[in-house]
Structure 1
Amino acid sequence: MVLVDFGAAKHATVTALAKTGTTIGSAAYAAPEQTFGRAVFASDLYSLGVTCIHLLTNIEPFDLYEPLESSFAWRDYLVNNPVSEELGCILDKMIQSSIKLRYQSAEEVLQDLGKSRGVREKKGGEINKQKRRLGDTETRRIEIPTTNISLITTFNKHADAVYAVAFSPNGKTLASGSGDKTIKLWELSTEWEIGTFGGSWFSGHAQTVRSIAFSPTGKTLASGSEDKTIKLWNVRTLEKFRTIKGHANSVNTIAFSPDGKTLASGSGDKTIKLWQVSTGKEQQSLEHLFDVFSVAFSPNGTILASGSWDYIIRLWDVRTGQQICTFDKHLFDVFSVAFSPDGKILASGSEENTIKLWDITSLGKEGNREQGIGNREQKTLTGHTNSVNAVVFSPNGQILASGSKDKTIHLWDVSTGELLYHWQAHSDSVLDLAISPDGQTLASGSADGTVKIWQLK
């Protein structure tokens, strides 16, 4: 038994809640808003969460706090008191600095604790599987990976973080872009490195490669870099045949249109540019308020989605360049966006540790575009404990994979929002993900400098 002086318990009255400027309790356990004398009900949940991680680690809260990350690194000190991933996620949500990201009531905490009952870690396996209990109702069957998900191989020939990974359209090769300024091409059947794009200073990028994309035919590979350029490469010869210039800052993201005629790029200069692939000429320039981190074409190529540092997702009419609508429910930077294969759902990953699914079915009706109808948040997926850097749909649209700064990969059931599997995939942030065209293989690139290939079926 452990006796803890909570130090801040008192009856909350309407009068007390209306007052500001009073702080009670120990500073190490107090929520950030209490520092300014603005305690709310969620403040007590923060204090309770901090108390829990203190008891689990036997380390003072101030010593667990990482100022640069604005979070508690309590998991690193769980020597004799391991906790389940589910309980860990609950505690992480209790101690969020932002009130909006924290539990708002004890009932919410109890509800999630109830959901975690019956969840068991699969001993001896590589993946934790979260199971639903539906009473006497049978669990809906869905084509998902089995519990035999396994690591096929690790590519470790990059000399810096791997920011981008992409499968060729036929699924036989994988490309990876890195902070070492190169793009490598890997043959998956033999696990050999086929070659390196940009191996020499005069042909390659001068700075970090942030994004890569294969053309629909697989004959061309495009790369975007912090050197402000886009380069187009011949996949067969590994030779560069065009350098596209026009951005005034880092090219963070690129995507080919489904017909391969247009290339979209998003930059730290706050713009999205559409380029004619055959000539390299700029066709249109679209604007965000801040840096653009991700762009994605809809499956039919008529809509372009973009995510930005301004917390906003914008949908654009590719033909006219006009903004269709905005999604503004994220509280922090939007790092990744992806369309479902049928074009009905847009997924977005954010710095606030969440993934949101948006219903965009009504955007297919021309009459609804001007009014922005379809700006409807369908689901919010929670489970990551740090920024979500990458989201990608499986080819059949049933599964969404997400990669995070928390070093894990999560697999979600798109229709229900249920977390199906999660595992620590790397020793550092997962920066990008790609799923093979047949849906059987997942590739992950990481800040630890490696590319990992996972067998999903």
Structure 2
Amino acid sequence: MYKKFLSVSLFFSTFALSGCFFFDSEIQRWHLAQQGSTSFSLSRDGRFALVSTKLQGIALWDLQQNKKLADFGSQDQYHNSVITSQISDNNRYAITATTQNFAVWDLGWSQAHGLWSIDDAAIQDVAIANNGTEVLLALTNGKALFIDLTDGRRLEFLAHRDKVNSVALSGNGRYALSGGNDHQAYLWDTHSGQIIYSFKHSSRVSQVALQRDGKLAFSTTANNDSIIWDLTTGKKITQLATKLRYKTLSSVRFSDNGQLLVTGTPSRRVELWRTDNGKNIGSWRAEVQPGARPATAVVYDVAISPTGNVVAGSSAGYAQTWSTD
């Protein structure tokens, strides 16, 4: 009995010293897709959610009002599953993609702007600028493809030597960040295709992100090589102080002021970090689908609300928000 009590005491002592954790601080949850989702995107402020399901297609929700704003239905006539999506930084437009085509949506008018197909590779990830006409695609053929939909201009970024896994685009569409299986992340100019900075990693780059005003960038690999970069110098600021050796990230976003970073994993975990020193300051677990085996969920997207709350959307079809007070 004494040994058991001692081990429990040590556990709670370690837990208390390991950081600020908020496991019991959930404010609200919404079950937006009863059968789970194939893609889930949040607006920058965490208010709007774009949810894709196999049966109902694509739907837009206002979480603040707990109201469905639009049912877009299937992206294409074959009802292919949407695998990735993004809401523009200004909340006006969105892009959704299957492996072979992508669509752009005007969220203000709840209507589609068009559907475009990709013939020579599969789509891995997408990003969209604030004007709703400039998009960026990560492709399995090693290309990051920038397209201006107003005039059809295409720029194929060819620096990667293997599959591109993740892309990010500045709000004005001028700068792109891409990461791939070649262990590289690149910041580049979408007008010229010129590389601004190269970020070398120890293994394949799985996720990238840009801070809203262009001061910071983030890139991560499957073996815990998660780095915050200073875009004024191209130098490393810090690395996330992750405790698990292989913690793959499925989603990431900076706070507007760049002081915080929120991440999600394929195994339910949502975490909050300081960008100046990489320290973990909060951790939560996303809800799982009722009766799901195994009892897990992929955190597809994360956000930080204007009041500082953390918001997440997952493959279980839930949106959740937690307090960090």
Shift of 1:257: 2.8
Q: Residues 97-118 of structure 1, C-alpha deviation per residue, up to 9 Å, x if partnerless? A: xxxxxxxxxxxxxxxxxxx966
- In structure 2, what is the Cα distance between the partners aligned to 1:117 and 1:161? 38
Contact 1:213/1:222 (<8 A) preserved? yes
Larger deviation: 237-246 or 262-271?
A: 237-246
Contact 2:237/2:276 (<8 A) preserved? no
Contact 1:444/1:451 (<8 A) preserved? yes
In structure 1, the partner of 2:223 is: 352
Q: Which runs of 5+ in 1 are unaligned?
A: 1-55, 57-80, 88-115, 122-128, 132-144, 363-373
Question: 2:247 matched to 1:391?
Answer: no
Contact 1:429/1:448 (<8 A) preserved? yes
Structure with the larger helix share: 1
In structure 2, the partner of 1:196 is: 71
In structure 2, the partner of 1:130 is: 19
Q: Secondary structure at the match of 1:387?
A: coil
Contact 1:163/1:179 (<8 A) preserved? no
Which structure has more relative contact order (CA 8 Å, sep 6+)? It is: 2
Q: Residues 73-131 of structure 1, C-alpha deviation per residue, up to 9 Å, x if partnerless? A: xxxxxxxx8798xx8xxxxxxxxxxxxxxxxxxxxxxxxxxxx966418xxxxxxx705
Q: Secondary structure at the match of 1:381?
A: coil
- In structure 2, what is the Cα distance between the partners aligned to 1:308 and 1:219? 29
Shift of 1:327: 1.3
**Aligned CA distance change for structure 1 residues 325 and 220 (closer, same or farther; 3 Å):** closer
Contact 1:150/1:454 (<8 A) preserved? yes
Question: 2:197 matched to 1:325?
Answer: yes
In structure 2, the partner of 1:337 is: 208
Q: Which of 1 and 2 has greater Rg? A: 1
Please point out which of 255, 280, 288 is paired with 1:419. 280
In structure 2, the partner of 1:120 is: 16
Q: Residues 219-253 of structure 1, C-alpha deviation per residue, up to 9 Å, x if partnerless? A: 43221212x11112232453323112235333222
Please point out which of 378, 389, 395 is paired with 2:238. 378
Tell me which amino acid in the other structure corresponds to 1:338.
A
Contact 1:290/1:310 (<8 A) preserved? yes
- In structure 1, what is the Cα distance between the partners aligned to 2:34 and 2:80? 14
In structure 1, the partner of 2:264 is: 403
Please point out which of 290, 313, 316 is paired with 1:445. 313
**Aligned CA distance change for structure 1 residues 209 and 383 (closer, same or farther; 3 Å):** farther
Contact 2:41/2:300 (<8 A) preserved? yes
- TM (norm. structure 1) is 0.59
Aligned residues: 312
In structure 1, the partner of 2:156 is: 285
Q: Residues 286-339 of structure 1, C-alpha deviation per residue, up to 9 Å, x if partnerless? A: 1322222211124665421111122221221222012233212232x3221112
Please point out which of 319, 322, 325 is paired with 1:454. 322
**Aligned CA distance change for structure 1 residues 397 and 388 (closer, same or farther; 3 Å):** same
**Aligned CA distance change for structure 1 residues 118 and 199 (closer, same or farther; 3 Å):** closer
Contact 2:89/2:171 (<8 A) preserved? no
Shift of 1:180: 5.3
Tell me which amino acid in the other structure corresponds to 1:197.
F
Identity among equivalent pairs (%): 20
**Aligned CA distance change for structure 1 residues 181 and 82 (closer, same or farther; 3 Å):** farther
Shift of 1:444: 2.1
Tell me which amino acid in the other structure corresponds to 1:254.
V
- In structure 1, what is the Cα distance between the partners aligned to 2:219 and 2:277? 16
- In structure 1, what is the Cα distance between the partners aligned to 2:322 and 2:153? 38
Tell me which amino acid in the other structure corresponds to 1:450.
Y
Structure with the larger strand share: 2
Contact 1:216/1:260 (<8 A) preserved? no
Q: Secondary structure at the match of 1:406?
A: coil
- TM (norm. structure 2) is 0.81
Shift of 1:413: 1.1
In structure 2, the partner of 1:159 is: 35
Contact 1:261/1:278 (<8 A) preserved? yes
Shift of 1:378: 3.3
Q: Which runs of 5+ in 2 are unaligned?
A: 289-295
Q: Residues 377-399 of structure 1, C-alpha deviation per residue, up to 9 Å, x if partnerless? A: 63243134531111111122111
- In structure 2, what is the Cα distance between the partners aligned to 1:309 and 1:245? 24
Contact 2:227/2:239 (<8 A) preserved? yes
Please point out which of 96, 99, 120 is paired with 1:248. 120
Shift of 1:146: 7.8
In structure 2, the partner of 1:264 is: 136
- In structure 2, what is the Cα distance between the partners aligned to 1:250 and 1:453? 33
**Pairing of 1:304-323 with structure 2 (within 5 A):** 304-323=176-195
Q: Secondary structure at the match of 1:321?
A: coil
Contact 2:57/2:75 (<8 A) preserved? no
- In structure 1, what is the Cα distance between the partners aligned to 2:9 and 2:120? 47
Q: Secondary structure at the match of 1:209?
A: coil
**Aligned CA distance change for structure 1 residues 285 and 189 (closer, same or farther; 3 Å):** same
Tell me which amino acid in the other structure corresponds to 1:379.
Q
Q: Secondary structure at the match of 1:120?
A: helix
